[in-house]
């Protein structure tokens, strides 16, 4: 069983959506939503890019992305049916070969609300509408979120071996520096253990390119915020 409670093979190919459970972007959104506040635990830019990276990882796990032989591989979408939010968003990717950075950029617009709408429609989140000077809030399914975090915790605290799907989830949390925001524990230790998972040999070139791109974009966002803070 994978953390969502649906059957999964060794390659993590059971990615769900309409075909059998939440997709990887949906699972990531559930983990990143704070059940105490109804808001994401990281800022909007990091959330959006992590979700875009999750789309690429999910597509790669399904065999829907191929890579070329370059040192920094480019990606290309393999045609297939539209069955859920991941495959629907795949239509926004560039035609032909493209770098992961461009893929992430093309996926970001509208992805966050689309994933939340799917989760609301499936009953995995409850939406509290916003109002004047008040943002909407999204309350995640506590049972499913706790189950997911139990898998993440087992990987980071106990060194339990993880399948491709859970490794992708851990890697995306690591990419946006959210490990300590979703689990109790020492930040440095959680980051180091998540890095070990992210750097493992579980991923093919397409997945590795997607994770590295999310990490690079996140680092750029953090550097920009630090510069702005220092000049204010």
Give the model's pLDDT for residue 113.
95
> Would residue 96 count as lying in a domain?
yes
> Would residue 4 count as lying in a domain?
no
The mean pLDDT value for 135-143 works out to: 92
Residue 201 in this model has a pLDDT that exceeds 70: yes
Backbone angles phi, psi at 210, to 5 degrees: -65, -45
The one-character DSSP state at 221 is H
pLDDT in tens, 166-195: 999 999 999 999 999 999 989 999 999 999
* Prediction pTM value: 0.84
Q: Which residues contact 64 (CB under 8 A, 6 or more apart)?
A: 77, 78, 80, 87, 90
How many domains, the chain?
1
Token reading at 15: 């990615």
> Would residue 157 count as lying in a domain?
yes
Cα(147)–Cα(130) distance, integer angstroms: 28
Cα(6)–Cα(68) distance, integer angstroms: 32
Residue 182 Cα distances to 14, 136, 229, angstroms = 24, 21, 25
65 touches 83 (CB < 8 A): no
Give the model's pLDDT for residue 230.
52
pLDDT in tens, 59-69: 998 999 998 87
Bigger pLDDT: 85 vs 70? 85
Give the model's pLDDT for residue 139.
95
Structural domain span for residue 60: 24-219
CATH number at residue 30: 1.10.3630.10
212 touches 195 (CB < 8 A): no
> Would residue 214 count as lying in a domain?
yes
Bigger pLDDT: 97 vs 16? 97
> Would residue 76 count as lying in a domain?
yes
Query: Nearest-CA neighbor of 171 among 226, 108, 213, 112?
Result: 213
pLDDT in tens, 36-55: 999 999 999 999 999 999 99
Query: Nearest-CA neighbor of 190 among 212, 159, 230?
Result: 159
> Would residue 229 count as lying in a domain?
no
């Amino acid at each position: 069983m994978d953390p969502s409670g649906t059957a999964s093979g060794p390659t993590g190919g059971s990615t769900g959506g309409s075909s059998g459970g939440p997709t990887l972007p949906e699972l990531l959104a559930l983990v990143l939503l704070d059940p105490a506040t109804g808001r994401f635990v990281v800022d909007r830019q990091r959330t959006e890019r992590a979700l875009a990276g999750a789309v690429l990882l999910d597509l790669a796990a399904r065999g829907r992305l191929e890579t070329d032989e370059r040192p920094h591989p480019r990606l290309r979408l393999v045609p297939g049916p539209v069955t859920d939010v991941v495959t629907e968003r795949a239509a926004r990717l560039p035609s032909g070969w493209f770098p992961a950075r461009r893929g992430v950029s093309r996926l970001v617009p509208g992805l966050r609300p689309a994933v939340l709408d799917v989760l609301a429609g499936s009953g995995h989140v409850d939406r509290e509408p916003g109002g004047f000077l008040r943002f909407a809030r999204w309350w995640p399914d506590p049972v499913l979120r706790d189950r997911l975090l139990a898998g993440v915790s087992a990987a980071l605290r106990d060194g339990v071996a993880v399948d491709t799907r859970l490794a992708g989830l851990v890697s995306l949390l690591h990419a946006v520096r959210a490990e300590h925001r979703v689990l109790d524990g020492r930040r440095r230790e959680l980051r180091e253990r998540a890095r070990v998972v992210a750097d493992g040999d579980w991923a093919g070139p397409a997945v590795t390119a997607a994770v590295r791109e999310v990490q690079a974009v996140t680092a750029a966002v953090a550097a920009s915020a630090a510069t702005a803070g220092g000049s204010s």
